Amino acid sequence: MTASTAPARPESEAAATSPWVERLRRVGRALALPAGSVVLAFLIGAVLIALAGGDPLASYEALACGGFGISCFGGETPALQISNTIEFITPLLMAGLAVGVAFRAGLFNIGVQGQLILGAIFATIVGLRLASLPGVILIPLLMLAGVVGGALWAGIVGVLKAFTGAHEVVTTIMLNYVAYNLLNYLLINGPMQAPNSSQISLPVGQNAQLPTLIPQEGLFFGQPGGAYHASIGIFIALAAAGVYAFLMRRTALGYEIRAVGQSQRAARYAGISVRRTIIVTMLISGAFAGLTGGLMIAGGSLHYLYADLKFDTTGFDAIAVSLLGQNVAIGVVLSAILFGALHAGGLVMQSDVQISSHIVEILQAVILFSLAANFLRSLKLRLPSLGREPAKPDGMEAAQAALQAEVGSTAAAEGDGRA
């Protein structure tokens, strides 16, 4: 082959020395934007708080205290605040992954709330029925039940989409409402209502509850152990994020999911079954969602199923988490931490400085706007063109020009040699 006999080109060496630098730079660049967006959002939020008659600095101190246990001046126990935050992060992260998987295949799963409810129902049933099993068996079974419940619900969406083309936005919204009514049926004078209560089920037994990070007996950081509800559920969620990353980046299935998300036509060309991939993706998405439901029952502070789960917004907040995290595992983890901390912080902010916790929602929205609109990049883009002077080629441009010149001359040499 002519090309293979050509001398090794310098740019391949350049490429060999730079990938780490390049990779670091890329990670930095990938993080810079969301981080900048968050900072910008907080600046805008500060203005809003001031307009609302609050003290931005005090509000943010309280927010940081509630979210991360730092800058606490109201007698809060940092460890407890962190525990609360972890408790909120866990379902957000899990559900965020559920939304993310679907997004990767080009599917907008607004039905995570419904899938999560089904997961919680299944998990509760297993937790109650098999209460006598030891935890090491019962907890995995309960999680599995959650997975099955969620996957079943999302699977309907996948199958309908694959075989009839029914749009997933419609089917997921419809199935949410079916799930809400199912939940009501079960819990309001229905088969799962606890005998002496209404609108809630019996709690799953001790064996079905996830171990907490801090022992329940004794005093820790000045507070009773039982006040700390953060459970090892956070590790399950983090592990799920790891699985997600591995699935997407390192497996053929993830590759196919991404291919289908980018172009169904191309996927078909490559022999990928689009139908099958859509169904599998929805099953995985539903499994994550169902696992969220399982974690809510086995972890957290309430171990029973409650009808108000239909007003819970986890499944919707997860959409924001996934979008903010740009559907990549690390991004979803970071944005779940941010949203979990904002939620926990909002509660403290209201009690500490009397700023409505609903400010937090506005803040979340501003973060999303700022990220989506990429205000920062627009600012940057606008700067160089202020002077009419055309921009000097930056490093990359210069490198590319050099490369092109080099390749050109190599090719010319070949041509000459043959002529």
Partner 1 sequence: MSTEVRADRPAAPGGEAPYAIEMRHIRKAWPGVVANDDVNLTIRKGEIHALVGENGAGKSTLMNILYGLLKPDAGEILINGQHAHISGPRDAIVRGIGMVHQHFMLIPVFTVGENIVLGREPVENGDFYDRSEVDTRIRALSDEYGLHINPDARTGDLPVGLQQRVEILKVLYRGADILILDEPTGVLTPQETHDLFAVLRGLVRGGKTIIFITHKLKEVLEISDQVTVLRRGKVIGTVRTKDTNEEEIARMMVGREVLLRVDKAPAKPGAAALRVEHLTVNTEQGLPAVRDVSLELYAGEILGVAGVEGNGQSELVAALAGMLKPRSGRIWIGDRDVTEEGARHTRHAGLAHIPEDRRGAGLILSFSIAENTIFGHQRDAAFALRGMVLRLHEIYAWARRLIKQFDVRTPSEETPARALSGGNQQKVIVAREMATQPKVLLASQPTRGVDIGAIEFIHRRIVEQRDAGAAILLVSAELDEIRSLSDRIAVMYEGKIASIEPPDVPEERLGLLMTGGGGRQTHPAAS
Partner 2 sequence: GGTSSTSGGSSANTIKVGLVTDTGGLNDKGFNSLANQGLQKAKSELGIQADVTQSTKASDYVPNLTNFASRGYNLVIAVGFLMASAVGQVSQQYPNVKFALIDSTPADAKGNSVTRSNVTSLLFKEQEAGALVGILTGMLEKQGKTPKKSHIVGAVGGQKIPPVDHYIAGFQWGVAKEDPSAKVLVAYSDEFSDPTPCANKTDTQISQGADVVFQVAGGCGLGVLTEGGKKGIYTIGVDTDQSASDQSVIASAVKRVETATFDAIKSVKDGSFQSGTVLFDLKNDGVGFVKGNLPVPADIQTEIDSVTNQIKSGAVTVPDTVKP
Partner 3 sequence: MAILSQLLQVLVSGDFWQLALRDGALLALPALGGVLSERSGVTNIAMEGMMLTGAFFSVVAALSFHNPWMAVIVAMLAGGAMALIHAFISIRFRADQIISGFAINIAAVGLTTFLNAKLSNFRGLQQVDPSGRLPTINVPLLDNIPFLGQVFFQQNIIVYVSLALLAIANLVLFRTRLGLRLRAVGEHPEAADTAGINVYRLRYGAVIMSGLLSGLAGAFLAIGIANIFNDNMTSGRGYIALAAMIFGKWTPWGAFVACMIFGVGDALAASTGVINVPQYFLQMVPYVLALVVLAGLVGRSTPPAADGIPYTPGGE
Ligand X SMILES: Nc1ncnc2c1ncn2[C@@H]1O[C@H](COP(=O)(O)OP(=O)(O)OP(=O)(O)O)[C@@H](O)[C@H]1O
Question: Is residue 7 at the binding interface for partner 1, with CB under 8 A as the rule?
Answer: no
Helix ranges, 6-77 (H)? 10-17, 19-51, 56-68
With CB under 8 A as the contact rule, which of the stretches 119-127, 168-176, 190-198, 271-279 interacts with partner 1? 271-279
Counting beta carbons within 10 angstroms of the beta carbon of residue 253, is it exposed (0 to 12), middle (13 to 18) or buried (19 or more)? Answer: middle
CB-wise, 16 or 391, nearer to ligand X? 391
Binding partner of residue 28 among ligand X, partner 1, partner 2, none, CB cut-off 5 to 8 Å per kind: none
Binding partner of residue 277 among ligand X, partner 2, partner 3, none, CB cut-off 5 to 8 Å per kind: ligand X
With CB under 8 A as the contact rule, which of the stretches 15-23, 29-37, 63-71, 74-82 interacts with partner 1? 15-23
CB-wise, 23 or 276, nearer to ligand X? 276
Residues 6+ apart with CB under 8 A from 308: 199
CB-wise, 74 or 417, nearer to partner 1? 417
**Which residues, in sequence order, are bridge partners of residue 220?**
223
Residue 213 contacts residue 83 (beta carbons within 8 Å): yes
How far is Cα 61 from Cα 388, in angstroms, rounded to an integer?
44
Give one DSSP letter per residue of 57-93, joined into a string.
HHHHHHHHHHHHS-S--SS--HHHHHHHHHHHHHHHH
Q: At residue 297, what is the residue type?
A: I
Instruction: Using DSSP, state whether 349 is helix, strand or coil.
Output: helix
CB-wise, 261 or 300, nearer to partner 2? 300
CB-wise, 173 or 403, nearer to partner 1? 403
Q: 204-263: which residues touch partner 1 (CB under 8 A)?
A: 249-253, 255-256, 258-259, 262-263
Residues 6+ apart with CB under 8 A from 379: none
How far is Cα 397 from Cα 342, in angstroms, rounded to an integer?
41
How far is Cα 174 from Cα 168, in angstroms, rounded to an integer?
10
Q: State the minimum distance, in angstroms, from the CB of residue 176 to partner 1.
A: 30
Binding partner of residue 73 among partner 2, partner 1, partner 3, none, CB cut-off 5 to 8 Å per kind: partner 2
* Site pattern 69..108 for partner 3 (x: CB under 8 A): ---------------------------------------x
Residues 6+ apart with CB under 8 A from 350: 356, 357
Binding partner of residue 147 among partner 1, ligand X, partner 3, none, CB cut-off 5 to 8 Å per kind: none
DSSP 394: -
How far is Cα 211 from Cα 105, in angstroms, rounded to an integer?
35
Name the residues that contact ligand X, by CB under 6 A. 256, 271-273, 276-277
Beta strands in 81-190 (DSSP E): none
How far is Cα 287 from Cα 282, in angstroms, rounded to an integer?
8
| Tokens describing residue 268 | 């078909």
Q: State the minimum distance, in angstroms, from the CB of residue 74 to partner 2.
A: 5
Helix ranges, 271-357 (H)? 274-298, 314-324, 329-353
Among 27, 358, 379, 407, contact with partner 3 (rule: CB under 8 A): 358
Provide the CA 415 distance to its chain's centre, in angstroms. 54
Q: 148-177: which residues touch partner 3 (CB under 8 A)?
A: 160, 164-167, 169-171, 173-175, 177
Binding partner of residue 43 among partner 2, ligand X, partner 1, none, CB cut-off 5 to 8 Å per kind: none
Binding partner of residue 374 among partner 2, partner 3, ligand X, none, CB cut-off 5 to 8 Å per kind: partner 3
| Tokens describing residue 179 | 């799930």
Binding partner of residue 371 among ligand X, partner 1, partner 2, none, CB cut-off 5 to 8 Å per kind: none
CB-wise, 199 or 273, nearer to partner 1? 273
Q: State the minimum distance, in angstroms, from the CB of residue 267 to partner 2.
A: 39
Beta strands in 65-179 (DSSP E): none
Binding partner of residue 276 among partner 2, ligand X, partner 3, none, CB cut-off 5 to 8 Å per kind: ligand X
Q: How far apart are the first and last CA of the chain?
A: 16
CB-wise, 106 or 205, nearer to partner 2? 205
Binding interface with partner 3 (CB under 8 A):
52, 108, 110, 160, 164-167, 169-171, 173-175, 177-178, 181-182, 184-185, 188, 319-320, 323-324, 356, 358-366, 368-369, 371-375, 378
Binding interface with partner 1 (CB under 8 A):
1, 3-4, 11-12, 15, 19, 22, 249-253, 255-256, 258-259, 262-263, 265-266, 268-273, 388, 390-391, 393, 396-397, 399-401, 403-404, 407-408, 411-412, 415-416, 418-419
